[in-house]
Amino acid sequence: MRIAILTNEYPPHIYGGAGVHVEYLTRELARVDDGRNAIEVVCFGQQDIRDGNVTVRGVDPQLPMPAGDPRHGKFLNTMLRDLVMAGMLADVDIVHCHTWYSHLAGCLVKQLTGARLVLTTHSLEPHRPWKVEQLGTAYRASSWVERTAYENADGVVAVSEAMREDVHSLYGVPYKNIRVIHNGIDLDQYRPTHDPAVLARHGIDPDHPFILFVGRITRQKGIIHLVNAIKHIRPGVQVVLCAGAPDTEEIGREMAECVEGARLETANPIIWIAKILSKEEIIVLNTHATLFVCPSVYEPFGIINLEAMACGTPVVASAVGGIKEVVIPGETGLLVPFVPRGPNDQEPSDPEQFSRDLAAGINELLDDPETLRRMGIRSRQRVEQFFSWTSIARWTIDFYRDLIGG
C-alpha cells in the first residue's frame, strides 16, 4: 500500500500525545509486511528525511497571513500549510490524518487522488471550549474543519471506547466505520531507568517521596486543579511539576500565581520545572517518582499515564475519557471522580471538591507503601500485555486493508 500520514507534529517538533502517537506508529507501520508498504509523512516543519520505505517532508510556507484578530493567525497559517500539503501528494491509497491541523489537507487529498480518508481521534474540538482563549472566533472555524472531515472520512480510528462514542454522538459517524485501536508505548525505551543525577539536576531530594505531573500548561490537563490540591497533601512529600509551554499568556500567569499561593499554604517542597524535558529525563523522573498524577479534565486516551506505568509507577488520575481504559483502580492506581459542569464544559462542577478528591487519592496511596509497590509491578505488566506499538501498527494496517477492499 501507499500510505500518506498527515500531521502537525513530527520529530523533532513534538509537544503532545498526538505527536508521540504519530512518531511511534509511523516507525512500526514501516516494519509491517517486511517493509513493503510505502509510508510518506507530510508534516509541519522543515523535515526532509529518506529512511528505507519512509519519506518525511516538512511544510513551512513563508507567506505572511493577514488576520483581523491576531488569534486567527495560527488557524490561517494552518490552512495555508494544508493547501500546500494537499498539492504534495499523488497516487496514494490511504491518507491518514492526525488532529484538525491536517484535516483540510486530508479532505482535499481524498478528492484529488481518490485515496481513502482515515482520521485518528486524538481529541475533539467540541470538548475543548477553552481553545477560544487561543483562537478567538477561529475556534468556530477549526470546529467546522473537524466536522467536515469526520463527515467525509471513510474510516475513523478511535483511541478509546470513550472516543468511539464521542465520534458517533457528535458527528454521526456510523459505528461500523469506527475501529478502536488504543495508543501504545515503546516498551524498550519506557522502562524503569534510575539516574540520581537527573534528580540532583532538578533539585529533587532522593531521600523523600515525590509525586510527579508531566504535561503542558493547558486547561485540558487540569494542572491548576492539582496545584490547588497541594495544600491538602500530607506532609513530607515533594511535588514535582514538569509543566511548560502554556497555551496562553493568561494561563501561564494563572499557573505562576497558583504555585506561589500553594507555596504559602504548604511546607511540602514544590519543584516547578517550567519547560518541556527530554524523553530520557522524563523516563528517569517517572522511574523515581512515588506516584504519577494525571488531573486531566478531558483526555481521549492519555499516553502520559502509559509512560509512567511502563516505568513501574502507579497513577492517580481523573476518571475521564480513555484514562478509564488505561488505569485500573486498585490494580495500577486510583481514579478520582470527575463531574463536568455540562456536556460541552469540561471544567469540574465543584473545582474545590475535585482538588480535595485528588489529594485524598494521593494520600491514600502514599500512606500504603506495600500497595504502591504492588501497583508499580502490575502497572508495568499491564502495559506489556496490552499496549505494544507493534500490535497497534498491525491492527492499523488491517483497518487500511478493510477500507480499500483487500
The reply to whether 196-386 shares the fold of 2-184+388-404 is yes
Q: CA-to-CA distance for 374 and 308, rounded, in angstroms?
A: 15
**pLDDT tens figures, 153-162:** 999 999 999 9
What would the pLDDT profile of 60-118 be if each residue is shown by its tens digit?
998 888 898 999 999 999 999 999 999 999 999 999 999 999 999 999 999 999 999 99
**pLDDT tens digits, one per residue of 271-284:** 999 998 999 999 99
Confidence at residue 406, expressed as pLDDT on a 0 to 100 scale? 59
Count Cα neighbours of 329 within 13 Å in the Cβ-side half-sphere.
10
- Selection from 32, 34, 59, 56 nearest residue 45 by Cα: 59
H-type helices in 41-160, by residue range? 73-87, 103-113, 132-135, 138-152
Whole-angstrom distance, CA of residue 364 vs CA of residue 372: 10
The per-residue pLDDT for range 19-49, each reduced to its tens digit, is 999 999 999 999 999 999 999 999 999 999 9
The whole-angstrom separation of Cα 265 and Cα 235 is: 12
Task: Give residue 269's pLDDT band: very low, low, confident or very high (50, 70, 90).
Answer: very high
CATH fold label, 196-386 = Rossmann fold (3.40.50)
Residue 259 has a pLDDT of 98
Per-chain mean pLDDT for the chain:
95
Task: Work out the pLDDT band at 346, boundaries 50, 70, 90.
Answer: confident
Instruction: Kindly report the CATH class assigned to 2-184+388-404.
Output: alpha beta
Q: At residue 231, does pLDDT exceed 90?
A: yes
Counting DSSP H helices and E strands in the chain, the numbers are 14, 16
Average pLDDT over residues 376-392: 94
Domain ranges of the chain: 2-184+388-404, 196-386
Q: What is the largest CA-CA distance in the chain?
A: 63
Query: pLDDT band at 129, cuts 50/70/90?
Result: confident
Is 374 a residue whose pLDDT tops 80? yes
Q: What number of other Cβ atoms are within 10 A of residue 108's Cβ? A: 18
Whole-number pLDDT of residue 343: 74
**Is the model's pLDDT at 344 over the cut of 80?**
no
Q: Average pLDDT of 340-360? A: 90
Q: Give 220-251 as a DSSP string.
A: GGTHHHHHHHGGGSPSS-EEEEEEE--SSHHH
- Condensed to tens digits (0 to 9), the pLDDT of residues 285-340 reads 999 999 999 999 999 898 999 999 999 999 999 999 999 999 999 999 999 999 99
Q: In this predicted structure, what is the pLDDT of residue 133?
A: 87
Cα–Cα distance for residue pair 80/62, rounded to 1 Å: 10
Span 217-246, mean pLDDT? Answer: 96
* The pLDDT value given to residue 342: 78
pLDDT of residue 64: 85
Tell me the percentage of the chain whose pLDDT exceeds 70.
99
What's the rounded Cα separation, in Å, for the pair 178 and 121? 10
